[in-house]
Amino acid sequence: MKAAVLTAHGDLDVIRYVDDLPIPEPGFGEVRVRMKAAALNRLDLFVRRGWKGLELDFPHPMG
């Protein structure tokens, strides 16, 4: 799976493009869809900067 991921909290240099993430298997009652594009929003900026009290595992996919 391809994704823009955060490697840590910080400035723009913590964003990396990766193309080898494992494709998650859908759970019961879920489906997998093919995506051509995804959008980022203001919340992604807050997450990148390190929102107080937010705990993330890195690398963390954006979007």
- How much is the pLDDT for 28? 98
Q: How many domains does the chain have?
A: 1
End-to-end CA distance of the chain: 14
Tokens of 18: 């990766």
How confident is the prediction along the chain (63 residues), in pLDDT tens digits per residue? 899 999 999 999 999 999 998 998 999 999 999 989 888 899 888 889 988 888 889 998 988
Provide the domain limits for residue 44: 3-61
- How much is the pLDDT for 30? 98
Instruction: Find all residues with CB under 8 Å of 58, minimum gap 6, and list them.
Output: 5, 6, 7, 8
- How much is the pLDDT for 38? 87
- How much is the pLDDT for 9? 92
- With residue 5 as reference, give the H or E element that holds it: strand 3-6
